[in-house]
Amino acid sequence: MNILILEPFFGGSHKQWATGLQNYSTNKIEILSLSAHNWKWRMHGGAVSLAEKFLKSSFQPDLIIASDMLDLALFKSLCSSKLIGVKTILYFHENQLTYPTGSNSGVREIDMHYPFINFTSALVADKVVFNSEFHKNEFLAALPNFLNAFPEPSLSKNIKKIVDKSSVIYPGVEIDEKFLSSEKIENSGKPVFLWNHRWEKDKNPEEFFKLLYEIKERGYDFSIILLGQRFSNSPACFAEAEIRLKNNILFSGYCDSKEEYFRFLLKADILPVTSHHDFFGYSVAEAVLCNCYPLLPNRQAYPEHIPAEYQQIHIYNDFDSLLEKSIYCIQNINQIREVRTQLFAKKFLWKEIICKYDDCFLQTTF
């Protein structure tokens, strides 16, 4: 089967996902993309630019997969002559209806145009796929209030059409086999805490550092690895932590290569996640695949990373619970280092999950 991926924002997890599909699928997949800049303009005008490229291309797909950043309705209208009999899938990495705005006012204000593009794209797609159960449920639950805010009351009648064609397939994670088979690089010495997320407010770094300050005040010794890209508007708590925890930090900054990144993950022991927002959680899956011991909040998509029988151990409900579990890890670090948490996350590996994608593609075209 010939498949075309349309990606107006070809960067980060979107790029990882598209290239992973291309590399692992049994189908012939081509990617038509635009660079990962100016996301608002990509949602406005990306469909026009990609339509121009598509109409000039000699590739004739049997199936098109579009990311949530594409105005699929506009693309289909511009390319209708070349899309006769071609089915479409919309894949939601994120959505603009429930994505955090970063407002400090406590009131969530959204530009209604971008969620409406998500809505109409889902409406015209033959199938809608989300990257987690949490994401699917949250988006579909938010649609009624959103659509009822418009002067046309019949809009909400379309929600069932989207519900009926919606499903979940987790994104695949790419990791070199050598890192899966590697032992932890440091099996002795101080416990090592890990941060491997974006240095942004929605990841709630304030609570992460609050945890470390409390642990240090109680007299426990530990090391820290802080991975991620620093932005001009990154929360001030990172700079503060680099001063207050200077003697604890093994590394702080962005890794130039995946090789370096995964080697740092192999050095880390404990992964306390404090994020307020994640539609899936690539960084969590990557760390757990490297046998980092996860302590995850009971919210968002995080419980989906842990089998039900282990959630009491690895899922926490409040800060006190996180603190208690973190101190337990320090006190029992030798046993913690023996736990093979990667077994929890192997279901996310491309080689394990690709069959679900290929089955979905087949079912959509027949």
pLDDT tens for 254-279 read 998 999 999 999 999 999 999 999 99
Do 292 and 341 touch, CB atoms closer than 8 A?
yes
Residues 209 and 126 reside in one and the same domain: no
Cα dihedral sign, 251-252-253-259: positive
**Residue 278 confidence (pLDDT):** 93
**Are residues 94 and 209 located together in one domain of the fold?**
no
* CA 184 from centroid of its chain's CA atoms: 25
My answer on whether 46 and 164 are in the same domain is: yes
Residues 112 and 84 in one domain: yes
The total number of structural domains in the chain stands at 2
Residues 150 and 231 in one domain: no
- Predicted local confidence at residue 97, as pLDDT: 95
Torsion of CA 87, 50, 138, 273, to 10 degrees: 120
Dist. CA 352–CA 89, nearest whole Å: 21
Under DSSP, the state recorded for 339 is -
Q: CA 228, CA 286: separation in Å to the nearest integer? A: 13
Residues 220 and 328 in one domain: yes
* CATH code for the domain in which residue 230 is found: 3.40.50.2000
Question: Same domain for 51 and 162?
Answer: yes
Q: Which of 285, 264, 284, 286 has its CA nearest to residue 275?
A: 284
Q: What is the pLDDT along the chain (366 residues), one digit of tens a residue?
A: 999 999 999 998 999 999 999 999 999 999 999 999 999 999 999 999 999 999 999 999 999 999 999 999 999 999 999 999 999 999 999 999 999 865 443 344 568 999 999 999 999 999 999 999 999 999 999 999 999 999 988 899 999 999 999 999 999 999 988 888 767 666 668 999 999 999 999 999 999 999 999 999 999 999 999 999 888 888 999 999 999 999 999 999 999 899 999 999 999 999 999 999 999 999 999 999 999 999 999 999 999 999 999 999 999 999 999 999 999 999 999 999 999 999 999 999 999 999 999 999 999 998
Residue pLDDT, tens place only, 97-128: 999 865 443 344 568 999 999 999 999 999 99
**DSSP states of 149-177 as a string?**
TSS-GGGGGGHHHHHHTEEE-PPPB---H
Other CB atoms within 10 Å distance of the CB of residue 226: 25
* DSSP-derived 3-state class of residue 317: coil
Query: Between helices 133-148 and 113-124, what is the axis angle to 10°?
Result: 110
Structural domain of 193: 177-348
Q: Say whether both 193 and 307 belong to one domain.
A: yes
What is the rounded CA–CA span in Å between residue 53 and residue 49?
Answer: 7
Same-domain status, 137 and 189: no
Question: Do the beta carbons of residue 267 and residue 186 sit within 8 Å?
Answer: yes
Q: Are residues 243 and 302 in the same domain?
A: yes
Whether residue 223 is found in the same domain as residue 335: yes
Strands 87-92, 127-130: pairing is: parallel
Amino acid 292 reads C
67 shares a domain with 6: yes
